[in-house]
Amino acid sequence: MKGYVYILTSQRNGTLYTGVTSNLPRRLFEHQTNLTPGFTSRCGVKTLVWFEEYDLVTDAIARKKTIKNWPRKWKLDLIETMNPDWQDIAHFLHGP
């Protein structure tokens, strides 16, 4: 089963959230519509700025754990490598 690691933000250089899922379009929809109570709903973290796809969800989980332990500067650098303008890249995904 495929897996995705993703980073959402509230705004450029704002609050960051790193997550993992097997269905990124569905999970993003849940975040953006506040269907999941918790950190992202409370902090307005809804903009997809970075993601990676893995063939195995277990690999995605391992990558998420690694990224979550990184200093904030490394996470910002990771985002800016793929998305220097911090654009919402949700349009690369298809349907919930």
- Residue 23 pLDDT greater than 90, yes or no: yes
Q: How confident is the model at residue 94 (pLDDT cuts 50, 70, 90)?
A: low
pLDDT: is 7 or 92 the higher one? Answer: 7
- Could you tell me the CATH number of the domain that includes residue 33? 3.40.1440.10
**Full DSSP string of the chain:** --EEEEEEESSTTS-EEEEEES-HHHHHHHHHTT-S-SHHHHHT--EEEEEEEESSHHHHHHHHHHHHTS-HHHHHHHHHHH-TT----GGGS---
The stretch 45-54 carries a mean pLDDT of: 96
Provide the pLDDT for residue 36. Answer: 80
Domain span holding position 12? 3-92
pTM of the model: 0.93
The answer to whether 22 and 54 have CB atoms below 8 angstroms apart is no
How many domains is the chain partitioned into structurally?
1
Cα–Cα distances in angstroms (integers) from residue 61 to residues 36, 43, 55, in the given order: 19, 23, 12
